[in-house]
Structure 1
Amino acid sequence: MSVASATTGQALPVAGGRATAAEVRRLSRGHRLRLAAVGVVGIVSTAVDLIPPVAIGYLVDRVRAGTADLGTVLTVTAVMALSGVLGAAGTAVAIVHATRVYHAVLAALRERLVSRAMLLPQHLVERAGTGDLISRSSDDVTAVADAAPAVIPALTVSAFTIVVSLGGLAALEWPYAAAFAVVLPVYALAMRWYLRTGPRVYRAERAAMSARAQQILESQRGYATVLGFGLAERRHRTVLTDSWGVAVQSLRARTVLSMLNARLNLGECLSLAAVLVVGFVLVDHGSSTVGGATTAMLLVLRLLGPVNQLLFVVDTLQSALASLSRVIGVVTIPTVDAADATTTPTDPMDEVDPTHEVDPMDPADTATAVRLREVAFRYADGPPVLDGIDLDIPDGQHLAIVGPSGAGKTTLAAVIAGVRRPDDGTVTRPRRTAVITQEVHVFAGALRENLTLAAPDATDRDIRAALETTGAADLLDLSADALDTVVGTGGHPLTDAQAQQLALARLFLADPELAILDEATAEAGSAHAERLDRASEAVLAGRTGIVIAHRLSQAATCDRIVVMDAGRVIETGTHDELLTAGGTYARLWAVWQAGQHISANR
């Protein structure tokens, strides 16, 4: 089990080599003409860079022959200077264009990552741990971005230099190229060793980073619990342990890098020795000149730098590829085709969803908005939270779900909404379903932006109408900026009641076929209860609605009430029918009424 798995149960998938390559090819569409231009400019600029070694070899032969003069030296110097300028300019152009393509592709990948992450099924994220997803969208994306300064020059310049220089060496005297080729197995063996060792080490390093991120995130989210139970020291030790785990994996990666460097140095020494020996033999037999041998040595020296750079950057490239595979692993998680899936998956990472959406052309679906058959659900290996739920909600009906704490009400709402996937059974729901929970979030930004998140085409008139309908028009008076008032973090603070009104207005603008209110007004306190109840009724008007009732006064106004206990439906009927039956609902109602009476007399 990996480090991440040990902490979180099951990490998000990591893309294989083929999937990663396919996604990169897909993202590079539209940039291939620029990539071709990079190739052409790179080859031309590196070919120009071959001129100085040839010119120096020519000068050496002229000096040995006694035919060199000041004009020869000046000409060689001018040619070398011009080739240096042209080569540098070409290299700069190639790197700039390659960098633009790299970051354009990376930007598109970031957008896909964020888009896909927002749509991931909740059970996948919870099994992997939120830290895994955060690590991929931060640490891994940063690793891919930070690799650009090292990887781009290596791939756009070094590769071209190696190809062109080898061609020039072979054109000069084939034995020189043969001598260099004899040493190539040393480099090949070094890379074979590294490619078998490096990726595994870097994957372990990234997994350790995910585990650390998960522990830090849990400590931050559970800050109040940590303080309340005196767990600060224990949490500190846990984070410290995972941080040391990252340090150990990073040291392993640096050790592998040092061992690769030693192998590259050996290859460099053998390459120079081989070409020197061949040059001595060729000159001794009159098959080459001293100038030719000088040119060959300069070309080999010119080759060694790019070869080492290219092989050395494989370390950075492997780290970046490990991160890239983790990012693409999220991007390529298959989307759920809920309309076609009706079976129950056995693999927890399988994306088949045993739910489907209402088909308005199917006569069986026209009168029923929600249908559940034998639905069962449990969290991980825990006891069943839902057990054999059968439920039909007619189109346009308002259904209240009540029951004691732990009865499974919120879980049932999440399964109906598609937030959670049932372990068994099937769920039918409308295509446009929206949920409001008691954990209402106000996003940092303008009031208008908060309200139009699910209805981007809504006009200011639509927004104002939604605020009026939900009794939240006073939000426009928060400041003189009205809809442009900045709310959320760093902006105008909202009370719990205002935040819930905003959420209700947001849902009204979204205009779903099915609206699910999971204790959506529970956090505002009794002072605003009546106002929020009226807002909820206004939002539900004209559409199918499910209310997880925190206050039984909400349930009493619904068309039908379902009473749950221990994950099962134990009663169903109207408010009056259930009171007459004298069962669980009647007892809950009596307790509720007594509590209201006590509160009123305080």
Structure 2
Amino acid sequence: MRGWLRGHLGVLGVLAAWSVLEAGQTFLTGFALAKALDHGFLRGRPGTGALWLALAAVCVPLGAYGTARVFRALAALVEPLRDVLVETVVRRGIRSAIRGGGAPHASVVSRLTHQVEIARDAFGGLVLVLRSFVFTSIGALAGMCALAPVTLLIVVPPLAVGVAVFALALRPLAARQHRYLAADEALAAELGSLAAGLRDIRACGGEPEMTRRAADLIDAELRAERSLARWGVARAAAPALGGRLPVVLLLACAPWLLSTHRITAGALLGALTYLTESLQPALQNLVHTLSAAGTRLGVVLDRVAGPDLPESAEGGPEGVAPVRTGAVLEFRGVTFGYGGGARPVVRGLDLAVAAGEHLAVVGPSGIGKSTVAGLAAGLLRSGRGQVLSAGLPALVPQEAYVFRGTVGDNLRYLRPDADPDDVLSAAELLGAGPLVAALGGLTGEVDPGALSAGERQLLALTRTYLSPASLVLLDEATCHLDPAAEAVAEHAFAHRPGGTLLVVAHRISSATRADRVLLLDGTHALCGTHTELLRLSPLYRDLVGTWSPAAPAGRAGL
């Protein structure tokens, strides 16, 4: 990667040149505020103060223009990386196919589409965040130097320590993240084998040995998780040391600065503005992005540019074959029944759900809506056909599960490294903000038995929103919420960045909000918009006509 970057120094130079405008905007944010206060408002010259503030306002569109140009230049850096990765995947896939004497391995298509795109997006995000942090820091520190150089003696040391702590923890943190994932995968594989062979294990009296093996893997995952948590403290400490501690120190030293060094009130306010409005958010964004996108980029690069692919083999398990371009979920001729001689609940279903799409599944009660969700989540295996997914699915059932522990533990269960601000923002988006506050915030204790069914659903929905899943399946997961709260939750998931939503609807309002509606009637499926189905399907018109806001979910059968 370093050698590749050295070959694109010209593009990096263009990015740096346009970033100077952003640094200039940062500089004037605090500088103009200080001058407006010292030379304007505190001296009884409101016109002078307003002119300084107007100068700062004029620089905002200039900074935005520079940022827009940065995005244009970024393409010249990111797209060549994508081309290199594609070439690498194709070359390795062809080589492995030649060695194996067959077609390229199925994972080649996944690497060419999903994984390469993840690498491109993650790399672009890292470049933007690193560039923004560097030039924001330059602009802020230059402004503090221009206003009162002595403030740098208070601000720079903790900022440098915070950045250094994070930089030193980044590599061990990534290594322990990989180790934890490997331990988790090993445990899941072992438990899957044990579940499949439970009858044979009991018949052969192998329980003690199998218990020991499972316990060893559980202990290994626990050790990996604890190690990851310890290094996660260092990551959390970086924003506190580099972003929040300087504010405290500057306020504590304010009397000394004002009396001994005779800095002005405007200079002190300007320094605080640089810290709270520029340096602190930039450092927080840097830590969050490098921890999340940096880890994803490292994992994908290891897979794409790492060891050669396995030798070719025909066929493959359900869900491994590539979905069509632009799709996240596909059903290809899927038929499923509960038992060998049972009548199929789903018969010959063909469906493609596009990335970012919002799909509602409706039909009479017992027609197979939850079965479709279970198949999409991988909890059920189709008897015939294929269910293909291009991303990680997350299924939220009707009866939401929460556990004893803190609110934060429950909400961060699927994303342990989630920033507290991100968790609280997600709760607000899902309409769970008042509930979180009533429980005492993220540190409040959760008693599952003391919560209503709707409150448990709000916590489960927020947990899923924070998860890395690209496909969210809501199987009547909002049935205990009122229609307004349900609309808030579905709107949040429908506009979740990079997410796709499938809703098993129990109110017709869910269908009217969806991009498309899948209607099941027991013999075939019909998919279209709400308006199209009203025109084409008597069953759908009947379902819509029997629904009312006060009616229980089962009456209309949605």
**Structure 1-normalised TM-score?**
0.41
